[in-house]
């Protein structure tokens, strides 16, 4: 199954860098980085539709469910697009990190959404951060490109 990789550049700063994801339960009402008002957030699938229709980027707030959090630092997350594909979100300039407890939670993120091709080296880096096996990492041979 192809995965759709997106980069969402977060326009906020918050927690200082540390060697592991921050502690926390990621409860309703908690935020990381700059506080974002959830009003007006569009489902991430709507933003992806706009990108597939030719927009170079979509700026604003999106709402999505987190399906994976970087286990090394909490510096990236994967979001469910609702169609079997995912979006990868990296925290801009490592300005803040998310706790592992954010996995499975629905979040509102404010930033820029862009299509991109993710290189083999970057895919392997993500797999290492996610503590995938050596066999899974070695099986990554091709970059992932946008679908459609």
Cα separation, 45 vs 53, whole angstroms: 12
Beta bridge partners of 114: 7, 57
The predicted pLDDT at position 48 comes to 87
The predicted pLDDT at position 147 comes to 31
Cα separation, 27 vs 4, whole angstroms: 28
* Domain ranges (residues) in the chain: 6-118
Q: Which residue has the tokens 């700059």?
A: 34
> Over the stretch 51-82, which tens digit does the pLDDT of each residue have?
888 888 888 899 999 999 988 888 889 999 88
> Over the stretch 94-138, which tens digit does the pLDDT of each residue have?
788 888 889 999 999 888 888 777 889 988 988 888 888 999 999
Residue 61 CB neighbour total at 10 angstroms = 16
Q: Structure pTM?
A: 0.68
Over range 77-98, report the average pLDDT. Answer: 86
H or E element: which one contains 4?
none
Q: How confident is the model at residue 15 (pLDDT cuts 50, 70, 90)?
A: very low
Q: How confident is the model at residue 145 (pLDDT cuts 50, 70, 90)?
A: low
Structure tokens of 59?
A: 């700026």
Measured in Å, how far apart are the chain's first and last C-alpha atoms?
Answer: 13
Is pLDDT larger for residue 48 or for residue 22?
48
């Amino acid at each position: 199954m192809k995965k759709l990789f997106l980069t969402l550049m977060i326009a906020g700063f918050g927690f200082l860098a540390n060697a592991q994801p921050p502690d926390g339960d990621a409860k309703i009402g908690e935020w990381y980085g700059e506080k974002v008002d959830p009003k007006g957030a569009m489902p991430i699938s709507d933003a992806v539709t706009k990108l597939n229709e030719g927009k170079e980027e979509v700026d604003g707030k999106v709402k999505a469910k987190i399906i994976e959090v970087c286990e090394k630092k909490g510096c990236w997350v994967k979001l469910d697009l609702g169609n079997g594909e995912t979006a990868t979100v990296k925290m801009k300039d490592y300005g803040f990190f998310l706790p592992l407890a954010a996995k499975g939670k629905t979040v509102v993120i404010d930033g820029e959404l862009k299509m991109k091709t993710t290189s083999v080296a970057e895919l392997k880096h993500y797999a290492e951060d996610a503590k995938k096996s050596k066999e899974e990492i070695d099986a990554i041979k091709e970059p992932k490109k946008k679908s459609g």
